[in-house]
């Protein structure tokens, strides 16, 4: 396996407990791979992805409530998928959906690591191609406002609205955090709470349950705290 594996956020989805346990056991052996959740239901997994930033999904194809193929069709192209199944005849359908890889059960560790390497390469390529700008435009009322990313401190969510807090102004737009995270450079911004995305370089202080950026004190969720600390360590090594 490649030693320069990028930090990847993933979830595992399989309605069979044994299949899920195998994925989690393999994932625990991979440095740089963070498992944000494990789900036995496609519907539960879909709801999680729509409200959280996920880079990669290990996704079983045959599930009772929502099949892996059905779920994949509902996901953003920015989410990379590795299908898992005991039935090789599903491979063609999986790759028709531009899957990153296809794992046939029982899944061995070496084959799992190959899938991780493929996913890391695709995620890195996508990030380098799509995140080369230093500003974004967001709609505010009938107008479009330019947000310079160097000046952006954090983004605050309130229902279906976001407020962009920069060093000198605030801009309100109708959008969800999951949508804006797809437009921001992943290496520079991250979610720290259900209501906040921050600029990592603007952090002044990290405490157990809060973060200070300039004069702003924001809540830090335990769900994202370990991920944040890992990101900061990765940037220093």
CATH value at residue 176: 2.40.50.1020
Mean pLDDT to the nearest integer, 59-76: 88
Identify the domain containing residue 166 by its residue range.
135-236
> 98-119 pLDDT, tens per residue?
688 989 999 999 999 999 999 9
The answer to the question of residue 2 being in a domain is no
Question: What is the structure's pLDDT at 4?
Answer: 41
Q: What's the token pair of residue 101?
A: 């890889």
Q: Are the C-beta atoms of 43 and 17 separated by less than 8 Å?
A: no
Number of domains in the chain: 2
Flag whether pLDDT at 225 surpasses 60.
yes
Residue of higher predicted confidence among 231 and 221? 221
Q: Give the span between the Cα atoms of 194 and 192, in whole angstroms.
A: 7
In terms of domains, do 124 and 168 share one?
A: no
For 109, residues 6+ apart whose C-beta sits below 8 A from its C-beta are 26, 29
Residue identified by tokens 């090789």 is 88
Of 130, 145, 172, which residue is a domain's last? Answer: 130
The answer to the question of residue 79 being in a domain is yes
Mean pLDDT to the nearest integer, 79-88: 88
pTM: 0.56
Highest-confidence range of 43-57, 90-104, 152-166, by mean pLDDT? 152-166
Q: Give the span between the Cα atoms of 47 and 13, in whole angstroms.
A: 12
Residue identified by tokens 């590795």 is 82
């Amino acid at each position: 396996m490649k030693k320069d594996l990028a930090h990847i956020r993933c979830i595992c989805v399989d309605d069979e407990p044994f299949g899920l346990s195998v994925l989690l056991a393999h994932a625990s052996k991979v440095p740089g791979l963070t498992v944000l959740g494990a789900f036995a239901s496609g519907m539960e997994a879909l709801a999680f992805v729509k409200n959280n930033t996920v880079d990669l999904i290990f996704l079983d194809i045959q599930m009772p409530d929502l099949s892996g193929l059905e779920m994949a069709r509902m996901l953003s192209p920015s989410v990379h998928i590795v299908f898992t199944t005991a039935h090789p005849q599903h491979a063609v359908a999986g790759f028709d959906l531009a899957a990153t890889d296809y794992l046939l059960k029982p899944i061995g560790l070496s084959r799992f690591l190959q899938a991780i390497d493929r996913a890391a390469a695709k995620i890195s390529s996508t990030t380098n191609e799509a995140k080369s700008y230093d500003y974004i435009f967001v709609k505010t009322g009938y107008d479009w406002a330019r947000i310079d990313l160097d000046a952006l401190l954090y983004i605050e969510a309130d229902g279906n609205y976001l407020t962009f807090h920069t060093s000198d102004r605030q801009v309100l737009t109708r959008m969800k955090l999951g949508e804006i995270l797809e437009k921001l450079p992943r290496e520079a911004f991250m979610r720290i709470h259900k209501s906040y995305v921050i600029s990592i370089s603007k952090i002044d202080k990290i405490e157990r349950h809060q973060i200070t950026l300039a004069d702003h004190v924001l809540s830090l969720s335990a769900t994202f705290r370990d991920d944040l600390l890992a990101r900061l360590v990765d940037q220093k090594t």
